[in-house]
Structure 1
Amino acid sequence: MRLRALIGAVAMLALCGPALAADFTIRLSHGDNEANPTHLTALKFKELAKQYTNGRVDVLIFPSNQLGSEEEVVQAVRTGTVQAQIPAMANVHPFAPSAGVLLLPYLFNTSAEAHKGLDALLPQLNERVTKEGGIRFLGILEKDFRILTNSKRPVKTLADLQGLKIRVPPNQISIKTFKSWGLDPIPMGWAEVFTALQQGVLDGQENPYTTAQTSKFYEIQKYITEIHYQIWTGPLLIGERFFQRMPPDVREAVAKAGFEAVAYGRQESAKQTEAAKVFLREKGMILQGAPEDEPKWQEAARTTWPDLYASVGGEAWAKTAVGVIEQANKQ
């Protein structure tokens, strides 16, 4: 109900003021605040879309889930009531299973490796997600690896991890990964996590450095381990039906704007990640780097891949995607 009301109000606003000068209005939703790289990516897309289309496209940005949850808005983009979005890949996966291949544990080892692989895979990925979900990826934002924080002890080895109560997102990829490490993870919605950590229901969680900063985990967590099991990715996506209604020259310009905006967002994310590390150290958190036995973590996590293939578009697609990523990083 809230989503429909807000979309209706936005539609009325789009008929007034400067938006009248544009041939196409793109309402872009995301779930982060205005300091986050996600929002900076959206602002750059707005700027470049206007520039490359000579003002024919106007982008209206709605941060902090103003139009509804990420899952609700993915559905709205599919039907055309919202035109674009930058959600976490895990929230796209249920609507376009093939996108889930990017969530496989230890698919990437570094951000630079991820950038090459994501860009190389984009055309083939779009062949699939346009059919599966009615959405198109203009580019894929990356906001560094999800790190492990906890309040109990330094985690330098797999043995140190045992017995900790760790929250994971409620998806099978994260759950199976942590189980492969001998843990019984606790799936939990994001809104409950801080309180659960504060009350001792949880000992730790995993998210990027910037999230540890903006969510003030330094108030209730002490130790950070760079487990590198999954890099945060989120597509700048647009509804395929809306995209195809635009003339070819406008489509080309919008696609170019999206791809370049994502590259800009990655740069901003890298800067914020380094700043977050400094900030968290100053707040007393102990940053330990990677586990001493990280190859064991990687080996165990990758044993889950065959069990996950069916949920990420099938074994053939998963192996094709991995091959494209590996080839891109050989060049």
Structure 2
Amino acid sequence: MFKSTLAAAVMVLAGSQFALSADYTMRLSHGDNESNPTHLTAVKFKELVEQYTDNKVEVQIYPNNSLGAETEVAQSLRMGSVEAEILYTGNLMPLAPSAGVLMLPYAYKSTEQAHKAMDALLEPLNERITQEAGVRALGLMEKGFRVLTTNKPVETLEDLKGLKIRVSPNDIAIQTFKSWGIEPIPMDWAEVFPALQQRVIDGQENPYTTAISSRFYEVQSDITEIHYMMWTGPLIVSERVFQSYPDDIKEAVVKAGREAVDYGRQVSAEKTEEAIAELKERGVNLHGAPKDEEKWQAAAQALWPNFYDQIGGAEWANQAVDIIKSSAN
């Protein structure tokens, strides 16, 4: 009893000494659980920031939206009352429309191209979102292409018709699904699983890893790789807070952010393969790409000019599209 009490006291003392030795505290919020690549990226970021700053910066991680919904926390970053966040790009768009270029449907043909494009877009994107939302992206992580989970096989556009599909409350996703001949249902994330369970909706779209971490295999029988959009999520910091740091801390935070995102991409690839294997074991039917995928792609890409006004204007959209296209070479 005495030993355990002493050990606990030592741990508390050590923690308080670390807190006292840290010059800065960085709270990092995200919306996923501890098994998700988002959280593993956050943990790597914490490790690297504390290492590269010699513990001058302490990073505290708040998973599962424990500091608030993603858009709310992004607003807090603008004010400087929260320091960092990893969030879905679609939830940054209300504050930083220019980030929407990452969500153009069928922009990427492969994961490799997506990484090249996102890395090339990072600096020009920061020039815009620091002004639009008061946040700076340290890196752009991804969790793979969003796949369509349903309670029946979907192998053609015809199979999709009549299904009630949940999409994130984002106009790009909404209009893309409308171009495929259905009326999608925008719905907050917290409502999705019970809605699937109660058959209020027939399906949803998210990466393979989400189908595991959110246990969608319990309520969905089929998956189609529609490839229309990659889940992208910037690791952002408050620009107001970032500019308050001395130069050595800024450099350390930027370096840690980029390395953490690279790590997160690697973990995401590994977790995706694990998720696919587990879904097969659980009896989920994986159909691969639609048999008429070119029809899905043509309908969605035809919408691109319609989105330009809401993603920062035609000039920026064309600049970003050129960067994305050049990354395919």
Equivalent residues in 2 for 1:217-232, closer than 5 Å: 217-232=216-231
Deviation at 1:328, TM superposition (A): 2.7
Deviation at 1:97, TM superposition (A): 0.6
2:189 counterpart of 1:202: no
Q: Structure 2: how far apart are the matches of 1:144 and 1:28?
A: 22
Deviation at 1:324, TM superposition (A): 1.1
Contact 2:36 2:213 in 1 (8 A): no
Paired letter, 2:301: R
1:61 is paired with a residue of what secondary structure?
strand
Q: Structure 2: how far apart are the matches of 1:328 and 1:185?
A: 31
Equivalent residues in 2 for 1:1-331, closer than 5 Å: 16-152=16-152, 154-330=153-329
Aligned to 1:6: none
Deviation at 1:321, TM superposition (A): 0.5
1:138 is paired with a residue of what secondary structure?
strand
Q: Structure 2: how far apart are the matches of 1:304 and 1:62?
A: 37
Deviation at 1:17, TM superposition (A): 4.2
Paired letter, 2:226: I
Unaligned runs of 5+ in 2: 1-14
Q: Could you list the per-position Cα deviations for residues 188-214 of structure 1 after superposition, in whole angstroms to 9, with x for gaps in the alignment?
A: 112222222222221111111111112
Aligned to 2:4: none
Contact 2:35 2:213 in 1 (8 A): no
Unaligned runs of 5+ in 1: 1-14
Q: Sequence identity of aligned pairs in percent? A: 60
Contact 2:148 2:204 in 1 (8 A): yes
Paired letter, 1:198: Q
Q: Structure 1: how far apart are the matches of 2:294 and 2:224?
A: 14
Question: TM-score w.r.t. structure 1 length?
Answer: 0.93
Q: Could you list the per-position Cα deviations for residues 174-232 of structure 1 after superposition, in whole angstroms to 9, with x for gaps in the alignment?
A: 11000101111111112222222222221111111111112211112111100011100
Q: Structure 1: how far apart are the matches of 2:104 and 2:90?
A: 11
Q: Structure 1: how far apart are the matches of 2:253 and 2:203?
A: 41
Q: Could you list the per-position Cα deviations for residues 105-148 of structure 1 after superposition, in whole angstroms to 9, with x for gaps in the alignment?
A: 11112111111100011000000000111000000110001100
Deviation at 1:29, TM superposition (A): 0.7
2:59 is paired with a residue of what secondary structure?
strand
Aligned to 1:9: none
Alpha carbon RMSD of aligned pairs, Å?
1.2
Q: Could you list the per-position Cα deviations for residues 12-71 of structure 1 after superposition, in whole angstroms to 9, with x for gaps in the alignment?
A: xxx954122122211111111111111111111111112222222211111111111111
Q: Structure 2: how far apart are the matches of 1:149 and 1:33?
A: 20
Q: Structure 2: how far apart are the matches of 1:229 and 1:220?
A: 23
1:26 is paired with a residue of what secondary structure?
strand
